[in-house]
Copies of this chain bind each other. A is one copy, B any other.
Amino acid sequence: MKKLSHFNKKGQARMVDVSGKPLTLREAVATGSVHMKKQTLKLITDKKISKGDVFETARLAGIMSAKRTSDLIPLCHPLAIASVSLDFTINKKNNKIDIEAQVKNTGQTGVEMETLMAVSVAALTIYDMCKAVDRGIVISDIMLMEKRGGKSGVWKR
């Protein structure tokens, strides 16, 4: 069975050494959902026809947070992110918003954490913009859907 790679033999936390790895193209996709009251979802969708909207703010927050991932996750490597995009889908039936983020880089390690960070911060931004009307919003199902590139290759949920 495998070990937790972020600890050395003495059980101490460390940043895993990627110095010998080649620069390769890598990509990850992650998703998450924001569950809210029916009326809150309506407020957001009504806003969409106006100039600013909740999704545009959450999208930018998600993109910017992906670039800050190594500042926040202690043992995460700093990466030169090559692209970030986020999509929001309104699920009226289940009163939720589904978020999907995709991040790419050319580097010595992959962008799974950056992609999950983008989803998480986009979800928190939606919470922030709606909390005055709906404090009970729940963020769930933040998970990696797919990753490509690097030694371990393709992984799909």
Q: Hey, which bits of chain A sit against chain B, CB under 8 A?
A: 1-8, 10-20, 25, 27, 32, 39, 43-44, 47-48, 50-57, 59-61, 63-65, 67-68, 70-87, 104-108, 112-113, 116-117, 120-121, 123-125, 127-133, 135-144, 147, 155, 157
Select A131's contact among B59, B84, B112, beta carbons within 8 Å. B112
Given contacts A140-B141, A143-B137, contact A18 B82 (CB under 8 A): yes
**Stoichiometry, copies per complex:** 6
Q: How far is the CA of A142 from the CA of B140 in the complex (A)?
A: 6
Least CB distance from A61 to B in Å reads: 5
Select A71's contact among B68, B73, B76, B104, beta carbons within 8 Å. B68
For A18, list chain B residues within 8 Å (CB). Answer: 82-83
